Amino acid sequence: MSKIIDGKLLAANIRANLKERSLDIAKRLGRAPALAVILVGSNPASQVYVQAKTKAGRECGITIIDKHLSDDSNQTQLIQTISELNNRKEVDGILLQLPLPKTGAFDEFEAIKAISPQMDVDGLHPLNQGLLLRGAEGFRSCTPLGVMRLIDEALRQLGVSSNIAGKKAVVIGRSILVGKPLGFLLLERNCTVTMCHSRTQNIEEECRSADILVAAVGVPEFVKGSWVKQGAIVIDVGINRTEAGKIVGDIQFNEVEAVASAITPVPGGVGPMTIAMLLSNTVDSAERKIVP
């Protein structure tokens, strides 16, 4: 039986620490850290994510600036909103909730590029992604950061070294949001990284070679127990809704739990950590503005 790494608890501990840092920032900067959250349209899932981020942010003492653009808004209005926020000195971070609506001819990449890289607390601006590629300082995207913190928590709970240099890490999924940046974060820690995707051959074998296996596929219960090496650390990024309305990950939890040394649950694993990392990036951004 593996250790179940509780992302909800880890995220709560991180948020408690962020609350203290926010209070300290408020004293030293004369204001609390501030995050602008842009939601375009009325996609129910996006609304739920924005509500969760707003609630968690406020609980950490972060000022949330709501920017809701209606369903009939367009790219020009969105870029205008972003530009205004870029110029507000009291704003430390801008989150653009994705995906953008299919209507209104939105260009997601152009919108992300319009965010000032210094405000890009979601870590999706090409400059920040380029800095990651270089191994230089910059905002890292939130889900991959959350995954790394969960791996560290797994190592801590297993009582093994946090030095993962030379370990074989396999990431399933190569999206710009999760898989690719995560691959570079693992490389930064000197893992030997294999990226799998829909064209990968012998994916089961690739997975079986992993000391650390991360699934970011978007296919319910894709990874089976027989794909996992005994004692591997397994992180499940997937959020999938079954026909019965149940939320499941990309890992066949019951099967994999019997083989892995540590595993994250869905829900309650990567999801809460993604939000915690967004808030952490926002607090970091505000802290940088404090003149010593």
Among positions 178, 228, 235, 286, the unique one binding ligand NAP when judged by CB under 6 A = 178
Candidate list 67, 92, 118, 122, residue with the active-site label: 122
Residue 181 sits in the site that holds ligand NAP (CB under 6 A): no
Residue 56 sits in the site that holds ligand NAP (CB under 6 A): no
Cα 284 to the center of its chain, rounded Å: 16
Tokens of residue 81, six digits: 């909103």
Q: Kindly state the smallest distance separating residue 224's Cβ from ligand NAP, in Å.
A: 13
Of 28-36, 50-58, 102-110, 210-218, which segment contacts ligand NAP by CB under 6 A?
210-218
Q: How many other C-beta atoms lie within 10 A of the C-beta of residue 165?
A: 9
Residue 238 sits in the site that holds ligand NAP (CB under 6 A): yes
Residue 122 annotated among the catalytic residues of the structure: yes
Residue 107 annotated among the catalytic residues of the structure: no
**What single-letter amino acid sits at 116?**
S
Among positions 101, 117, 126, 218, the unique one binding ligand NAP when judged by CB under 6 A = 218
The Cα–Cα gap between 126 and 113 comes to 7
Strands 247-248 and 240-241: antiparallel
Helix 270-287 with 44-59: angle, nearest 10 deg: 50
Q: Kindly state the smallest distance separating residue 119's Cβ from ligand NAP, in Å.
A: 20
Residue 210 sits in the site that holds ligand NAP (CB under 6 A): no
Residue 113 annotated among the catalytic residues of the structure: no
Strands 240-241 and 233-236: unpaired
* Nearer to ligand NAP among residue 25 and residue 233 (C-beta): 233
- Helix (H) or strand (E) holding 182, with range, is helix 179-188
Residue pair 15/238 in contact (Cβ under 8 Å)? The answer is: no
Distances (CA, A) of 229 to 52, 199, 255: 35, 22, 12
Residue 226 sits in the site that holds ligand NAP (CB under 6 A): no
- Would you tell me which residues interact with ligand NAP (CB under 6 A)? 143, 172-175, 177-179, 196-200, 203, 216-219, 237-240, 270-271, 274
Q: Which residues are catalytic?
A: 53, 97, 122
